[in-house]
Chain A
Amino acid sequence: MAHEMLPVPAPFTGRQEIDLDDVREMISHFHYDDFEEAQELILSALQEINEVYGWVSPEAAEIVAEHLGTTSERIYALLTFYADFRTAPRGHHHMLICHGMSCYVEGSQALVQQMQDDFGVKDSETTADGNMSVQVVNGCLGVCDLSPVVKIDDAYHGNVDAATLTELVRRATTTRSPMTEEENHGSHRTG
């Protein structure tokens, strides 16, 4: 059935190697009755993989294509059209800089600029040591009362200014374990 409850994916933990057996097991939950339904499931399947691993590798794309009766070329057309998907692995930590209108109004452009000037990373790039990748969110992270917002791994950081950003990057790049909500306390309170 299309809406059998899918297993809740574990939070992103910075792993990059895609375990193809894992992918096969994930994809096997996508059942379909006919060609049309299989086509409808492609995006959801890719999303599962992207959420767990942070990117979709050519091998994983091949598995999806095979299971859902399409080609990997077609999968790549989707991966490169839809903004959520990544076709290259992330850094050990992944930073989302929200660049929605509310964050813009409260100063997110300066944060994007700072990442470029101080740390040499632009949108969709990874630091030279592979420690942190940056993604500028053209849409919105949806927590506008914390604007401007940065999300590192699973933790949100609100009301970020230049000093906070520097500190966050320093903390993230000196540890390999994912940043958690714990480290976030205090920085998310608004006045």
Chain B
Amino acid sequence: MAHTAPVDHLPRLTSKKDYVAFRDTARKNWAELWEGNRTVVSVGVGSSSIAKGALDIFAACRAHASNATVVREVSGNGAFWMEPWIEVKRPGEPPVIYGPVAVDDVSAVLTGARNDLAIGVRSDKEFNGIPSLNDDPFFSNQQPIITRNAGVIEPDSIEDAVARGAYDGYFKALFELSEDQVIEEVTTANVRGRGGGGFPAGIKWASGRKAKARPKFVVCNSHEGEPNVYKDRQLHESDPHRILEGILIACVACGAERGYNYIGGEYPLAIRRFRKAVADAERIGLIGHDILGTGKNVAMRVRTGGGAYICGEASALMYSVMGVKGQPRTKPPRSVEEGVWRRPTVANNTETLACIPDIVVNGGEWFAAIGTEESKGTKLMTVQGPMKRHGVVEVPMGVTLRHVLFDIFGGMREGHEFKGVQTGGVSAGPLTEEHLDLPVDFDSLSDVGGMLGSGGWVVFDQHVCVVDFARYLTAFNRYESCAKCVPCRLGNPALVEILDRIRFGRGTLDDLTLIKRTSKHIIELSLCGLGQVAPVPLLGMMQFYEEEFRRHIVEGVCPTGTCPITAGEPVLAAGD
């Protein structure tokens, strides 16, 4: 990374008073930064913007900025369409965001000569003809709670984070609330598992607290093996202290000695920033022995995965933490009885834990007032495909799919027609035009075969053949099957084989029946969540686009011209 500030200047805090003084200084410095008469330049540096040259932009900002200017490396803010971006705050003016910026534009942007690149100002009113960011539908329709620091704080700076409210919840959990009160707030908030399961975190925590065996652990599941989902990466890169705080609160509330964060190895920047957060928090004394003089001890370990999708499954993840192959096991015992190293383990998704600090600070009632009756709070969503805009957004539960796709992300690009949207990653069926007015929450989508899942949405257009798409999704599950249990290991390749017959024009109508029967076996007999949902995308495709499957078989026509129907003998597709 461009820089990793030395942690040596951080003080060691050993009491409540120490911490309050540290926090007040951080807040004062933060206020002075923005109210002072220095120009502040912030560059959004995250995995997605680095791919578009953000590090070069950052270097150029440093080279062109005067000595009096502060140049900061913040993270991306989820708006991929405007990356790489620069935010310039001149004395007495609101911050202006410019993007996408090329290296050659940087010096002109800094001198204020390129207002044509301005996207908006961080203010309620327009400024110098530049509209307010709040008028852009991408931002105005969001409700940033857990992403409110994204693109604002320097993720490598614990002072920035503290100035913006990090560890306020932890502080309250340490000094003002009892363990039971913390769990009660989380239960009242009714925050449900955001990895896709939807299990209430409060119930999990309560059983974790009751567990007698020692030591106990808390595991944060930050493994996003699912293609096209990177909400957790975004959280780690933009606000690592929020996740760490969530884990620490969980440890304190459940009486756990140690917290783990298991991060997918695909995200080196997320891993580096989170490690830096842990090192800083440890240095000032928020992790370790006798935290701030309370007598409480919490340790923290960061573990990384190796690119196996299955490791997002809780029991597989725990095996991976223990350094063996990540293969799920049968339950019971549940992880809260026997998890990492066969000790009681409370496992939560990153996004779930990221909600915790605000719940503790503002109370469970506050959180429960956001969203719908059954699904509380906000949800991070990523939208991909031939859309006008891409990125990660945070919306309250209960908004409609149409609102997200067409208002926030601007709808389809020129020349692309909406055909459907694949929900729940590779674990659920597609939704079509008629479902677009359904609310986004844990339950509504499942009723029609979709799934909120982890909030990854891939829109597909008229150029995509659903038979080929279904094969792609089934082949993904075939590849990612851990091979422990037979139905999943053999069933998924069998499905791919049948689909290949259809793609090559050799399918029969009986094959559709065969697909249903094979799928039933896989769903009913597989050991873990991956296998139990592996055929669901295929079944969904068959349900909503049956006509297209039939045309392949009966007429020998692939309407989109994707499938090699006339190519002769079936051969394996490239990549097999």
Contacts and interface: CB of A to CB of B under 8 A. Distances in A.
A154 to B, nearest CB: 10
Contact of A185 (B102, B321, B472): B102
Given A8-B1, A43-B320, A140-B228, A81 B575 contact: no
A154 B56 CA distance: 13
Interface string B265-286: 1111000100110110010000
Interface stretch (B44-52, B109-117, B550-558): B44-52
Contacts of A115: 574
Contacts of B29: none
Contacts of A100: 227-228
A159 to B, nearest CB: 11
A3 B279 contact: yes
Nearest to B103: A185
B561 to A, nearest CB: 12
B376 interface: no
Given A101-B426, A106-B386, A122-B575, A43 B304 contact: yes
23 contacts: A36-B341, A43-B305, A43-B323, A77-B324, A81-B326, A82-B326, A83-B306, A83-B307, A83-B308, A85-B306, A101-B227, A102-B385, A104-B469, A105-B459, A105-B461, A123-B575, A138-B476, A139-B225, A140-B228, A143-B48, A144-B228, A156-B51, A188-B53
Nearest to B230: A142
- Kindly name the residue among A41, A78, A116, A144 whose own CB sees the greatest number of chain B CB atoms within 10 A: A144
A78 B460 CA distance: 36
Contacts of B460: 105
A10 interface: no
A51 B391 CA distance: 27
A102 B575 contact: no
Contacts of A22: none
A39 B322 CA distance: 6
A105 B574 contact: no
Given A40-B303, A40-B322, A145-B391, A139 B4 contact: no
Contacts of A102: 227-228, 384-385, 458
Give the bracket for the number of chain B residues in contact with chain A: 35 or more
A104 B384 CA distance: 11
Interface in A24-58: 36-37, 39-44, 46-47, 51
Contacts of B384: 101-102, 105, 144-145, 147
Interface residues of A, number: 61
Contact of A145 (B48, B266, B275): B48
Contacts of B461: 105
A7 B332 CA distance: 41
Interface in B442-483: 458-461, 464, 468-469, 472-473, 476, 479-480, 482
A112 interface: yes
Given A102-B458, A109-B574, A185-B102, A3 B306 contact: no
